[in-house]
Structure 1
Amino acid sequence: MRTAAVVGTGLIGTSVALALTARGITVYLHDADSTAVRTAAALGAGLDEAPPAEVDLAVLAVPPGRIAAALKDCQDQGLAHSYTDVGSVKEQPLLDIEALRCDVSRYIGGHPLAGRERSGPFAARADLFDGRPWVLTPSKETDTETLNRALEMVALCRAVPVVMEPRAHDHAVALVSHAPHLVSALMAARFEDAADTATRLAGQGVRDVTRIAGSDPRLWIEILGANATAVADVLAGFADDLNETVTALRELAAEDDAKRRSGEEGIGGILRRGNVGHARIPGKHGAPAARYESVPVVVGDQPGELARLFGDVGIAGVNIEDMSIDHSPGRPAGLVELMVDPAAAEGLVVELRRKGWNVQR
């Protein structure tokens, strides 16, 4: 692949363009919003002009409900030999594409599972897809050349290709992305009318749970609308569990011993199921989840403190497998939780304390 076109210069489209341009591909940009396309071009994502000839691959970075119309328009113009998209829903767009009598043989659905809470070209990054799954959903008519070009694009973006059927993809993302987004929004909505004295107590746990609730509602209405049934099925099961949990909590607060025991069993059951489900989420590089040990370190709110901590960990010869930072605005220090190999944890604690760090264990 030597040339590509990106239609839609928001976060994902511009990130694709930046990644391809960085690998030597000539990328042509198009967006109905002239400001967005000029911004993406100024960031080095590609050329704000029409290609002089048919490009190898066009990436349709538009919302799911607009994919079919965009593909029809681009194919009528002869923009590219092959086409893909980055929509988060796959079955309905394919049905729409077939209804518009597009050339399905030169189209393959795609969905990079990467993103940020921010939107627009200024939020784009060339490394956004590094190591992330990128689902491709070929139809029965998709030709081999189109599949190969999509696979090459995924490789150039340094993502990991995953081939699935459109319907299987939609049920999977309902579970791992769409339903969690609504659950995050519902939890964040509890803070809408909360007292300031309560919100000031918020720590890293609630930030983790509500982080994705800051995304653009307009985009998510389109995403959820295109996958509404699958998402509703996931949330129906969630609602059943939530009702049982509420009942168990009421019992846990009862004065009757038998009810309290029933409540303990109910809450214990949901927590244990949560442990099992959490353990099934893949760990680093898609490998099975590994058990790490936490080393919590108090870090002052001064320039260079995090770098100094990481440097001392590196000198100790320990790899940081994962980490989190709990630091609320206004506090003079934060708590950095370093997740490391259990065999290295005790030695790291000793080394960090020797260098003056306040390790909370």
Structure 2
Amino acid sequence: MRTALVIGTGLIGTSVGLALAARGVAVHLSDHDPGTARTAAALGAGTEEPPEGPVDLAVVAVPPAHVAATVAGAIRAGLARACIDVASVKSGPRRELEALGADLGSYLGTHPMAGKERSGPLAATADLFEGRPWVLTPGKGTDTEALNLALELVSLCRAVPVVMDAEAHDRAVALVSHTPQLMSSLVAARLRGAEESAVRLCGQGVRDVTRIAASDPGMWIDILTANPGPVADVLADVAVDLGEAVQALRALESCDDDKRQGGVRAVEDLLRRGNAGRSRVPGKHGAAPAAYEIVAVLVTDRPGELARIFADAGAAGVNVEDVSIEHATDQQAGLVQLMVEPSAAPVLSAALRERGWSIRQ
């Protein structure tokens, strides 16, 4: 691949442009908003100048509702040897393209499983896709050239290709992406009218659960409008679980010992099913999540503190597998939770204490 055209210069499109440009591909940028394309170009994602002829690959990075029309237009205009889209829903746009009578041999629906709560070109990075799954949904008539160019794009972006059926993809993202967004928003919405005294008690748990609730509503309306059925199916199952959880908790209020014990068993079953589901989420390097030990360190809010703690961990010969920060309310401090292999936890704790760090059990 020597040339590419990115149509739509938001977070994903600009990140694609940055990744390709960094690897020597001549990238041309197009957007319905010239200012957005200009911003992406200024960031180094490519040039606003139109290509002189057909490029190797056109990457359509527009909202799902506009994918079919944009792809059909690109194919009919002969803008590229092959054309892909990167929308988060796959079966709907393909059906629309078929209805439009577009020649789909040179088209391939794809979806990089990467993103941020922030949107727009200023949030883009060249390494956004590194190590992330990138779903490819070839159809029966997809040309080999289109598939090969898509695979080359995934490789240049340093992502991991995953081939799936379009409908299976939409059901999968409904479960692992779209429903979690709504669940996060539902929990966060309960905070809107909560007493200030309650909100001030928010800890890391509620921060983790509500992180993605900060996402752009407009973007998610586009996504959910394109995949409503599979998301509704998952939510219906969650609603059944919620109803059973409510009944179990009500039983815990009962004066009847049998009802209370039944409630305990039901709540325990829910929590254990949650444990089992969580254990299936891929961990580091795609492997099953490891049981790490947490070394919690009190850190003050001063420049260089995080760098110093990681340097001290490295000096102790300990590899930090993961990290999270829990901020203290109304204090210029927080707890840095360093996740390490169980055998390394005592070594790290002792080394950090020697270097003056305050360790919390």
Q: Check the 8 A contact 2:324/2:338 in 1, yes or no.
A: yes
Does the alignment pair 1:299 with 2:312? no
The corresponding residue for 2:64 is 64
How far does residue 348 in structure 1 lie from its aligned partner after superposition? 1.0
Aligned partner letter, 1:134? W
For normalisation by structure 1, the TM-score amounts to 0.98
- The residue identity in structure 1 corresponding to 2:332 is P
Cα distance in 1 between the residues matched to 2:60 and 2:330? 43
Q: Which residue of 1 aligns with 2:88?
A: 88
Is 2:119 the partner of 1:123?
no
**Structure 1 counterpart of 2:294, one-letter code:** S
Query: Could you give the per-residue CA deviations for residues 159-202 of structure 1, whole angstroms, max 9, x where no partner exists?
Result: 00000000110011011000000000000000111111111211
Gap runs ≥5 in structure 1: none
- What secondary structure is seen at the aligned counterpart in 2 of 1:110? strand
C-alpha separation in 2, matches of 1:325 and 1:230: 34
> Which residue of the partner structure matches residue 237 of structure 2?
237
Q: Please, what is the CA RMSD of the aligned residues? A: 0.9
Rounded to whole Å, the distance in 2 between the matches of 1:141 and 1:67 is 19
Task: Quote the Cα distance in structure 2 between the aligned partners of 1:51 and 1:270.
Answer: 56
Separation in 1, partners of 2:50, 2:328: 47
SS in 1 for 2:192: coil
Q: TM-score, normalised by structure 2?
A: 0.98
* Alignment partner of 1:44 is 2:39: no
Matches within 5 A, 1:106-121: 106-121=106-121
Equivalent residue number for residue 199 of structure 2: 199
2:153 matched residue in structure 1? 153
Larger mean Cα displacement after TM superposition, 194-203 or 42-51:
194-203
1:224 maps to which residue?
224
**Residue aligned with 1:191, SS:** helix
Aligned 8 A contact 2:200 2:329 in 1: no
Q: Write out aligned runs for 1:92-103 (5 A).
A: 92-103=92-103
Residue 191 of structure 2 aligns to a residue in which SS? Answer: coil
Q: What is the letter of the counterpart of residue 344 of structure 2?
A: A
Alpha-carbon distance in 1 for matches of 2:136, 2:268: 39
- The one-letter amino acid paired with 2:146 is T
The one-letter code matched in structure 2 to 1:150 is A
For 1:35 and 1:329, how far apart are their aligned partners in 2?
40
Task: Name the CA distance, whole Å, in 1 between partners of 2:191 and 2:211.
Answer: 13
Structure 2 residues not aligned, in runs of 5+: none
Q: Is the 8 A contact 2:85 2:108 kept in 1?
A: yes
Secondary structure at the aligned position of 1:168 is classed as helix
What amino acid is the match of 2:182? L
Range that drifts further, 343-352 or 1-10: 343-352
* 3-state DSSP of counterpart to 1:128: coil
Q: Output the CA distance in 2 between the equivalents of 1:34 and 1:142.
A: 32
Q: Deviations over 1:205-261 (max 9, x none)?
A: 111101111111111111111111100111111111111111111111223222221
> For residues 254-293 of structure 1, what are the alpha-carbon distances to aligned partners after superposition, in whole Å with 9 as ceiling and x for unaligned?
2322222111111100000000000011111211221111
What is the deviation of 1:76? 2.1
The residue number in structure 1 matching 2:27 is 27
Between stretches 28-37 and 194-203, larger displacement belongs to: 194-203
Q: Give the distance between the partners of 1:205 and 1:170, measured in 2 at CA.
A: 29
One-letter amino acid matched to 1:166 = A
Q: Which residue of 2 aligns with 1:133?
A: 133
Structure 1 residue aligned with 2:15: 15
What secondary structure, in the 3-state scheme, does the structure 2 residue paired with 1:230 have? helix
Letter in 2 for 1:296: A
Tell me the residue number matched to 2:351: 351
C-alpha separation between the residues in 2 aligned to 1:330 and 1:142? Answer: 57
Inter-partner Cα distance in structure 1 for 2:229 and 2:67: 20
Say yes or no: does 1:144 pair with 2:144: yes
User: Taking every aligned residue pair, what percent have the same amino acid on both sides?
Assistant: 60
1:185-196 alignment to 2 at 5 Å? 185-196=185-196
Structure 1 consecutive aligned stretches of length 4 or more whose deviation exceeds 4 Å: none
In structure 2, relative to structure 1, the CA distance for the partners of 1:128 and 1:328 (3 Å cut) is: farther
The within-5 A match list for 1:334-345 is: 334-345=334-345
Paired position in structure 1 for 2:311: 311
Q: What is the match of residue 76 of structure 1? A: 76
Q: Per the alignment, in what secondary structure is the counterpart of residue 52 of structure 1?
A: coil
Structure 1 counterpart of 2:105, which letter?
S
**Number of residue pairs the alignment of both structures matches:** 361
